[in-house]
Amino acid sequence: PERILSGMQPTGGLHLGNYLGALKNWVPMQDSDKECFFCAVDMHAMTVEYDPSVLPDRVRGVAAAYIAAGVDPKRSAIFAQSAVPEHAELSWVLQCVARMGWMERMTQFKDKAGSGKDAERASVGLFTYPVLMAADILVYKATHVPVGDDQKQHLELSRDIAARFNRDFGGDQIILPQPEPVILPTGARVMSLKDGTKKMSKSDPSDNARINLHDDADTIARKIKKAKTDPEPLPDTAEGLADRPEAKNLVGLYAALTGASVAEVLGEFGGEGFGAFKPKLAEAAVEYIAPVSEEYARLLDDKAEIDAVLKDGAERARAAAQPVMAEVKKLIGYWGA
Ligand code: AQP
């Protein structure tokens, strides 16, 4: 059977980009013949500066957003990465399988660590992050991993690590299957409301740069009203958006929210200014998010319900991870395995 694994970092509240680009696509994957594991990857969130006092609530927030979006905790295991110690256990093994040369090619580390003194101050965890991600996947022998475009390189590394492990420890057998990426539609990439060349991000210091899943109608309308634009009216065709990142982002967002194509949106709004377009966009965003944000808000108020889901999810995840880890331990020669 197919096994699906994905996760998000509890680095802040989830936003419309996380929802359109990832979360919403997980919901239809919950078929009866597939097993789904969706975690809040708190151990990944520790690779950059963070506040330990808010981390548990952020994990709850991620779980609440999953459920509000339609992930069913009965069908899918929803859990905190740190509650399943097998992730960390396998991660060490895989650190001894991955090669420095492979790791040094990872572009996300270079982007996040910066250069010079900044790079020297980056945590070792930020560097080994992709190995932990490989462990997240391989500890369940997951076959399919829905990822955004930006995670393709890490998934490729997971495949290389699995192949090398099988070669070194499995003889001719496939012990850890190579996971397949399920690349989510790139059209769903939502950019910052303040800078159309940067993606909408949880950790952007400006809250006005994103639409959070917990924002109320007034907040959404205000953020869209203040969103950066250029002075030109909207073009009649998609080609006219080419050098206009902010306009392109807002039109793309309207299309994603209403299910229309970009051409259809421009057919309706071409020639109009942002003064006319933005209120329509705000209306569409509010209408689209309302059912998710109401349920999200309700769940955030019910810690006991979320904790019960996380506990049950962790138990189910451990039950799946433990036999894989036991098999790995035997092969690598751990004492007592
Ligand atoms: N702007 C976006 N548009 C579409 N999809 C997005 N994702 C993130 N931002 C956008 C997708 O959401 C998932 C979350 O992955 P993550 O929590 O590991 O972190 P990330 O990709 O780094 O997301 P953020 O929100 O930008 O968080 P921070 O600020 O912590 O880095 C992924 O599937 C991602 O593709």
Closest residue CA from atom 12 of ligand 1:
18
pLDDT of 148 reads 81
pLDDT of 200 reads 94
ipTM of the complex: 0.96
Domain ranges of the chain: 2-189+303-332, 214-298
What number does CATH give the domain 214-298? Answer: 1.10.240.10
- Among 109, 99, 98, residue whose Cα is nearest residue 44: 109
- How long a stretch of residues is the chain? 337
Residue with tokens 């060349």: 197
Distance between CA atoms of 152 and 182, rounded to whole angstroms? 9
Mutate to test the pocket of ligand 1, among 6, 9, 47, 194 (most ligand atoms within 8 A of CB): 9
Q: Please indicate whether residue 25, judged by its CB atom, sits closer than 6 Å to ligand 1.
A: no
Q: Please indicate whether residue 184, judged by its CB atom, sits closer than 6 Å to ligand 1.
A: no
Q: Please indicate whether residue 11, judged by its CB atom, sits closer than 6 Å to ligand 1.
A: yes
Q: Please indicate whether residue 188, judged by its CB atom, sits closer than 6 Å to ligand 1.
A: yes
Q: Is 248 labeled as catalytic in the residue annotation?
A: no
Rounded to whole angstroms, what are the CA distances from 166 to 139, 144, 246, 285, 320? 14, 18, 47, 47, 20
Looking at 141, 199, 223, 248, which residue is catalytic?
Answer: 199
Does 214-298 match 2-189+303-332 at the fold level?
A: no
Distance between CA atoms of 145 and 7, rounded to whole angstroms? 9
Atom of ligand 1 nearest to the CA of 18: 12
DSSP run (H or E) holding 45: helix 42-45
pLDDT of 172 reads 81
pLDDT of 33 reads 87
Q: Please indicate whether residue 8, judged by its CB atom, sits closer than 6 Å to ligand 1.
A: yes
Q: From first to last of the 337 residues of the chain, give the pLDDT tens digit.
A: 899 999 999 999 999 999 998 999 999 999 878 999 999 999 999 999 999 999 999 999 999 999 999 999 999 999 999 999 999 999 999 999 999 999 999 999 999 999 999 899 999 999 999 999 999 999 999 999 998 888 899 999 999 999 999 999 999 899 999 999 998 776 678 999 999 999 999 989 999 999 999 999 999 999 999 999 999 999 999 999 999 999 999 999 999 999 999 999 999 999 999 999 999 999 999 999 999 999 999 999 999 999 999 999 999 999 999 999 999 999 999 999 9
**CB–CB of 194/209 below 8 Å?**
yes
pLDDT of 1 reads 83
pLDDT of 147 reads 87
Atom of ligand 1 nearest to the CA of 146: 33
Rounded to 5 degrees, φ, ψ at 129 are: -40, -50
What number does CATH give the domain 2-189+303-332? Answer: 3.40.50.620
Q: Quick one: 292 exposed, middle or buried, by C-beta within 10 A (0-12, 13-18, 19+)?
A: buried
pLDDT of 183 reads 80
Distance between CA atoms of 295 and 304, rounded to whole angstroms? 15
Rounded to whole angstroms, what are the CA distances from 233 to 22, 136, 192, 253, 283? 31, 47, 20, 17, 20
pLDDT of 186 reads 61
Q: Please indicate whether residue 189, judged by its CB atom, sits closer than 6 Å to ligand 1.
A: yes
pLDDT of 187 reads 60
Looking at 112, 194, 280, 329, which residue is catalytic?
Answer: 112
Helix 86-95 and helix 303-332, axial crossing angle in degrees, nearest 10? 40
Rounded to whole angstroms, what are the CA distances from 244 to 79, 195, 204, 249? 40, 11, 21, 9
Distance between CA atoms of 105 and 103, rounded to whole angstroms? 5
3-state secondary structure of 251: helix
Name the pTM for this structure: 0.94
Q: Is 278 labeled as catalytic in the residue annotation?
A: no
Distance between CA atoms of 93 and 337, rounded to whole angstroms? 14
For residue 21, report the distance from its CA to the centre of ligand 1, in Å. 8
Residue 77 pairs in a beta bridge with: 37
